[in-house]
Structures are given as structure tokens and as C-alpha cells.
Structure 1
Amino acid sequence: MEYYIDSANTIAIEKLVRDFPIAGVTTNPSIINKANTELAPLLKKIRTIIGDDRKIFVQTLADRPEDVLADAEAVKETIGENISIKVPCTASGLHAMSLLKENGYVVTATAVFTPQQALLAATSGADYVAPYVNRLDSITSDGVRVVEETINLFTLTGIKSVVLAASFKNAEQVHRAMLAGCQTATIAPELFPALINHPMTKVALEQFNNDWARVYGEECSSVRELLSGSNR
């Protein structure tokens, strides 16, 4: 399973990378806009925070395939090799995906809303396809069903592209996407606590602490100290 952070908030990224098993960071023009800063310094700071082993996804706004490729080259020059170039799933986007793939780039098809869009993008060279779960749900469609049908189509056709589920608004959507077979998801920072926190975990921890304190006292919370004392 791969978890990505869908944000350009460097404070949030730094905390999540410290605590969670993060594979990288995804961005788009709207996310960059929220950061309200210059693009190059922002991408460089994200790279510094997450290191070279994690991937950064950057979306191009260019329409012509050759301009998309030029944008990709500029991104690579700015933050290095471990990147994926995001291209909207349109007819010209398919052409751009093919061109990027021919030039050795990792390609992500974004703004995917149907399994057929995903299939066309994957056939055009997209390494990742990103269906928008909540945006589909918000128009009374079923985002998780699109994820599941896309995974099934890829399995039937032997396509190795990865379904990168995106656009989540709650932990239940993330959970259902994973039950549908999705093994890669990009998630907004505010949803990560909802995936890990549970009131019963807190209750169990309080019980552990109380039981420990009854035996060893409230001041002793170190197993290491107790073991080192017994070995003297």
C-alpha cells in the first residue's frame, strides 16, 4: 500500500512524513495556489522535506504535447528525477502522455472520472491514473465503483498501470476504495488522523498506563530503566 499526501503545505508534509509511511506528495494547480508562494522554492522545499526517495507529482497546465514535455523537463531540472508529471485526461492529454513516456517520464493521468478514460490513459502510457472519488460522489455518482471497475478493467486487459485514488473527503471513502482493491491513494493532510485515531485505542492506552502505574508508579514509564536495573 502506498499513501501520498495531497497537499503543498510544507508544515503538514513535514509532520506527516515524520509519523506516517508516506510514499510522496501530489500537487495540482489548485493545491499550489493554496500555498500562495513561488513555485520553484516551494517544490524545492518539499523535496528537501521528503528526500530523494519519495516521489513528487507535479501537474502541467500546457495544452500542446511539446509544451507539456518542456514543462516536465523544467520540473526535472528543478527537483530531480523522482517525479511524476500529471496530465489531465483529455484527447490532447493522451498525446502528451505518450510523448512523456517516450522521453522516460513517469506519467499520471489526472481528472479521471470514468474507467474508459483510465483505460485510454493507461494505454497511452500513463503509469498512474487518478480517479476523483469525492467529486464523483458529489454529483450522485459512485467514485469507489469507478475505482473498482478501473482496477477490474486493468486486470482483464493485463495493464500494469496503478490506480491512484484521489479526491477524498472522509476516511470511509478511503477505506471503501481500498476494499475495492486500490493499493495507492493520495489523501489530504486532515484525513490522516481520521485513519489512525480511534476512541477505543485511547481507552486501551489509558488502561495500560493505569495498570502500569499501580505496579511501578506514575513516574516510571521506561521499560529500559526497569530492565537495566534488574541486570545490575
Structure 2
Amino acid sequence: MDLYLDTADDAAWADLMPTGLFKGITTNPLLAVRAGLDYPTIDWSAKAMRARDLGAQELHAQVFGSVDGYVAWAGALYEAGAAAGLRTVVKIPMTEAGIRAVPAIKALGGPILMTALYHPKQVFVAKALNADFAAPYFGRMSEAGLPAVEMLDQMHEIARGRPRLLVASLRSADQLVALAQRGLDCFTLSPEVAQTLLGDSLTDAAAAAFEAAAAGQGS
């Protein structure tokens, strides 16, 4: 099981990465806006070093802007990861423009992730492109009225481990549990969902009882 923290917020990185739960960090332009960042001006060398210092093994970041700039941006991200000593993964939207940019990005030799998948047919594309990861947007699929669970089953069967499905857009820990029961084992979680993994009211009550007993206050 591999979990990734899905945010560009430095405070969330600092809070949650030291738990040891997360293999890495994923982000994109929308998450950067939510964190108050200007995506085109992010210093990825500094971000990669910060992620490494907090224990991340991987940093996934997304191309943006004109497709003509994808390759240069991807190369810079790979270089930032190499300098920091962690694996950087280039996220590419599963659009026609993104698909057409893949061969040139793959030629750089680094890992890629095809993102924003909504249909099982898109796993065929990711597989044909020899992508390392593909990211279905489970929560958004459900909210769009799609049979998200059934479609994730189909994606999982088609992929058979390559590309690895990195399930995104989860809305709750319950969704995580349900999908893990179906054999999926790679997820990216928002800080809000990640936080729910750190506690349970019954566990907290049991721990408090243990401490009370140790202090001679209970039996």
C-alpha cells in the first residue's frame, strides 16, 4: 500500500509528512491556487528539497500552459528531483494535447503519470504510452453520476499493475477502505482525508483508559 499527500500547502506537508504514512507528495495547478501559490513561478528545486527533507521519496507535479513548453518544464522537474535526491514524476492530463506530448517527455527518461482519468478506455491509452502511473478521479467520477466503483474495477483489471493506478479525488477514509478491499493499493489523499486516518474516537477512549490505569486512576 502506497499513500501520497495531495496538496501544495507547505504547512500541510510539514504537519503530515513526518507521520511516515506517505511515500510522496502529489500536486497540480489547482492545488497550488488553493495553497495561495502562483503555479508558474514555483521554485521546483526548492519544493523538491523541502519534500525530501520531510521524508518524501517522490514528488509528482503537473505540466501546464502551452503544450510547446511541456518538455522543457518536465526536464526541469526531473533535474530538480535529481539534485534533491528524490524521484520526480511528471503528471500529464489525459487530453489529446497531453497524449501527443508524451513521446517527447518519455524520451527524457523520467517517470510519467497520466492524470484526470474518468473512463476505463483511458487506461488502454496510458498502458499503450507505457505510463508509470494513471490517476482516476474517483470522487469526481461519482459526483458526475458515473458508476465509479464498477469503472475502477474495470480500470484495475485492464491495468494489471502497469500503469499503476494512483486513485485520486477521494472524499473519505470509507472510500479508501472500500477500494482497498477491491485490490487497489495506491492512493493520493487530501490533507482533510489524511487527517481522519490519524484518530478514531473509540481508539482515543481506549488509549485514555490505558493512561488512566497507568496513573492508578482506573481498573
**The two structures share one fold, judged by TM-score above 0.5:** yes
DSSP 3-state at the match of 1:94: helix
1:150 maps to: 155
1:136 maps to: 141
1:192 maps to: 194
Q: Residues 25-40 of structure 1 correspond to what in structure 2 (within 5 A)?
A: 25-39=25-39
Q: Residues 1-232 of structure 1 correspond to what in structure 2 (within 5 A)?
A: 1-39=1-39, 41=42, 43-51=44-52, 54-64=57-67, 67-80=69-82, 82-155=87-160, 160-214=162-216
> TM-score, normalising length from structure 2?
0.87
Tell me: CA distance 1:76–1:103, structure 2 relative to 1, closer, same or farther (3 Å): closer
1:224 maps to: none
**How much has 1:15 moved relative to structure 2?**
1.4
CA separation in 1, counterparts of 2:37 and 2:97?
29
Percentage identity across paired residues of the two chains: 25
Contact 1:121 1:129 in 2 (8 A): yes
Aligned pairs, how many?
A: 212
**How much has 1:42 moved relative to structure 2?**
5.2
CA separation in 2, counterparts of 1:63 and 1:181?
37
1:227 maps to: none
> TM-score, normalising length from structure 1?
0.83
Contact 2:71 2:104 in 1 (8 A): yes
Structure 2 unaligned segments of length 5 or more: list them: none
Structure 1 unaligned segments of length 5 or more: list them: 218-232
Report which of the two structures shows the higher radius of gyration computed on alpha carbons: 1
Tell me: CA distance 1:125–1:62, structure 2 relative to 1, closer, same or farther (3 Å): farther
Q: Deviations over 1:148-184 (max 9, x none)?
A: 21111122xxx62100000011111111221221111
Instruction: Provide the alpha-carbon RMSD of the alignment.
Output: 2.2
CA separation in 2, counterparts of 1:48 and 1:24?
12
Letter in 1 for 2:205: V
**How much has 1:125 moved relative to structure 2?**
2.1
**How much has 1:62 moved relative to structure 2?**
4.1
**How much has 1:188 moved relative to structure 2?**
0.3
CA separation in 1, counterparts of 2:156 and 2:74?
27
CA separation in 2, counterparts of 1:63 and 1:41?
17
**How much has 1:79 moved relative to structure 2?**
4.4
* Bigger shift: residues 76-85 or 164-173: 76-85
**How much has 1:75 moved relative to structure 2?**
2.1
